[in-house]
Amino acid sequence: MIIVRVNGREQTFEPAADTSLANMLRDEAGLIGVRVSCAEGECGACTVLLDEQPVTSCLMLAHQAAGREVTTIEGFGSPEHLHPIQQAFIEEQGFQCGFCTPGFIIAAAAFLAENPSPTEAEASIAMSGNICRCGAYPYIVRAVMTAAERLRGATA
């Protein structure tokens, strides 16, 4: 049995030894905003924050998250109060089908926490761990830049 703090709430799980964190979050916690696409750590759709740092949750054992804090897209904002990054993705149309979007938003959150005033090139490189099969990349980078501006304004 392991205890993981998921989206601010301590939960206990009993994953098998080789269950990935992504599958545990989806199957046991019902957090289907964690998208599993490639299951090989290439596409970033399953990105979550582990102690504030971005990880591809398909590429780690659920057991590796024992005693740690995990944030999924469900831990960002709410339908009534969207997170500024979510709002920016909507306004800048930073998606088409939306399947990859949770991963992009979480990767963007981790990146902007570290670099609040990025250049477009930096934002683009920071999103290199996420794949958008619709090819919305220019809009995604614009969304990250808009989100950066909003978040800077919010803390100023």
In the complex, which residues of this chain contact other proteins (CB under 8 A)?
16-18, 20, 23, 27, 39-42, 44, 47, 50, 53-56, 58-61, 63-64, 66, 107, 110-111, 125-126, 128-130
Q: Which of 57, 50, 60 minimizes the C-alpha distance to 33?
A: 57
Q: How far is CA 10 from CA 56, 62, 69, 71, in A?
A: 21, 15, 9, 12
Q: Residue 98's Cα: distance from chain center in Å?
A: 13
Output 76 or 111, the one with its CB closest to other proteins.
Answer: 111
By beta-carbon proximity to other proteins, the closer residue of 59 and 82 is 59
The distance of closest approach from Cβ of residue 111 to other proteins in the complex, given in angstroms and rounded to an integer, is: 7
- Nearer to other proteins by Cβ, of 91 and 114: the residue is 114
Shortest gap between Cβ of 80 and other proteins (angstroms)?
Answer: 29
Residue 11 to residue 96: CA distance in whole angstroms: 33
